[in-house]
Each structure stands twice: as C-alpha cells, then as structure tokens.
Structure 1
Amino acid sequence: MNLRTFQATVAAGFIACLVWWLLPYVGWTVNPLTAEALQFAGAGAIDGALHPAWFIAFLIARIIATIGMLLFFKWGRLLFAVWLLAGFPLGLVSGVYVSPAIDSTIGYLTSLLDGVVLALAYFSPVSVLFRSDQPRA
C-alpha cells in the first residue's frame, strides 16, 4: 500500500462516518412506521449518555484525528485509536439502538473502513511514516 492509497482510505472512512452521523437529519431514510420505531432510540440510556456535547466532542476528535492521520502525525494515529476505543463504553450506556437498514449498512461500512485504517496505521509499511524522523506528506 502506498501513501496516497492510505490517505484515500482515511478520507473515505471520514466521509462514510460523516454521512452516517448526518443520516438521521436527512429524513429520506425514514417512513412513518420507521419514524414511530425511532421514538424508542435511546430508551434505557444512562442519564447524560446521549447529550449532544458527547456527539460534538466525538465529531471534533474525529476531525482532528483525521487531519493528523492524513499528515502522518503520531498524535493523529493515537487520537484515532483512542476515538475508536472511546465508542465502546459510550455504546454500552446509550440504551436501545434503533436504525433503518441504510443507517446500519453505512455504519457497518464505516466500522470496516475504520478498522482497516487502524490496522494499516499500526501494522503495515505505512506505519513507519508516523515516526517523527520521517518526512510527512
């Protein structure tokens, strides 16, 4: 894998993530029956787990991590890994998850791309570009 392919994969993962996060606000994925089911999303969540501040913080962290990864900064790679891992405990306290099929499909694609990016950033020849003694893109 070369440098540009890695950067394209990082960018594709970011775009897929952004589309996934914005889908609920588009409305075209929801018919009346699905809209009724979506009323139960978040039921049983721990207080504060679904506060908009969490989502804003996750979005800002993702943007910063993506920029760091595209420029091959070590902190970008670390922030990306921390960002991915931080989603696990938040998911455990967020209550019921209800999603239309397109939402699940794009979420799955996003997860796959994020996993590929993380694996390439740490375990491929691209990983040497994250060392401080190497030139950056």
Structure 2
Amino acid sequence: MRMNAKMLFRIAVIAGAVTYVAYWFLPYTYGYLDTFTGSLLSYGGHDAVFVGPELFHNVIFVAWLVAAVGLLLFRKLARSLFLILVVTTMALSPLYGLSVETAGGATLISIANMADGVVLALAYFSPVKNEFY
C-alpha cells in the first residue's frame, strides 16, 4: 500500500499529539525514580530567564491539543495556531534555562518535535495544503 501525503499528515499529527501528551504526564512517574535521579531532575530550569506561570504552560498544552484536533479536521485556523505554537515555543526555549531529562522524556520530546516538523512541512509545502478550509 502506497501512503499518500494526507495519510502521512494524519499519522504525523497523531504521533506528535500522543508523544506530547505522554511527555506532559511523564513527571507523574518521577516518584518511581531513585533519589539521585530525582535530585538531578530538580535542576531543570536552573538559570532560566523566563519562568512562565503554570497556567501559561497549561494553556500552551491545551492549545496544542486543540490545534492537533483542528489539523486532523484540516482547519486553516488550526494550521496557523500550530505554526504560532511551534515558533513561540522554539523562540522561548533558550530562555527556559538548563534542561534535564530522563532518557524516556528526551525520546518523547524528540519524536514530538520531529512529528511537528513533518506536520508543518506537509501542511505548507505539499498537496495537503489544499485540503485546509
């Protein structure tokens, strides 16, 4: 079976959303880590220039999920929202300070970031761009 761009787009959106949700809830598993690893993870955010309130991060998370649903429905507004979210989080990323991740967390966020790239490439530079309304 040959995969078309529309199917690949949907797979990338779902893969990105699933890994992003898994990454979001990953800290709830930290209680099972040994004390030393837990103390190392506490250094995440050290020397941050921008420390957004928890509400800010929650709004970004919900907006990301809303954008993902909209992308699956091929809504132009969702495509624009997704682009804004990717650019905003990339722009703020250097301001968040030291990043300390578990191997699982690093893997999940890497997959999510790659999926985001595929989604943006297909949404703007492939025949999929004509599906949005």
Question: What TM-score do the two structures reach when normalised by structure 2?
Answer: 0.88
Q: What is the aligned counterpart of 1:20 among 10, 20, 23? A: 23
- Give the aligned partner of residue 92 of structure 1: 94
Alignment of structure 1 residues 41-60 onto 2, 5 Å: 41-46=44-49, 49-60=51-62
1:77-123 CA deviation, whole Å, 9 max, x = no partner?
A: 11001100111232122111111111111111111111111111111
Identical counterparts, % of pairs: 32
In structure 1, what is the Cα distance between the partners aligned to 2:115 and 2:43?
Answer: 29
How many Å apart are 1:2 and its aligned residue?
Answer: 4.5
Ranked by relative contact order (alpha carbons within 8 Å, sequence separation 6 or more), the top structure is 2
- Range with bigger deviation, 18-27 or 4-13: 4-13
- Give the aligned partner of residue 135 of structure 1: none
Return closer, same or farther for 1:106/1:28 CA change in 2, 3 Å cut-off. Answer: farther
Amino acid at match of 2:102: P
Amino acid at match of 1:19: A
In structure 2, what is the Cα distance between the partners aligned to 1:46 and 1:59?
Answer: 21
Asked whether the 8 Å contact 2:16–2:115 carries over to 1, the reply is yes
User: How many residue pairs end up in the alignment?
Assistant: 130
In structure 2, what is the Cα distance between the partners aligned to 1:112 and 1:2?
Answer: 16
Structure 1 stretches lacking a partner, 5+ long? 133-137
Return closer, same or farther for 1:129/1:30 CA change in 2, 3 Å cut-off. Answer: same
- Give the aligned partner of residue 120 of structure 2: 118
Please provide the CA RMSD for this pair.
Answer: 1.7
How many Å apart are 1:28 and its aligned residue?
Answer: 6.5
Structure 2 stretches lacking a partner, 5+ long? none
- Give the aligned partner of residue 129 of structure 2: 127
In structure 2, what is the Cα distance between the partners aligned to 1:6 and 1:85?
Answer: 19
Structure with the largest fraction of helix:
2
In structure 1, what is the Cα distance between the partners aligned to 2:81 and 2:119?
Answer: 13
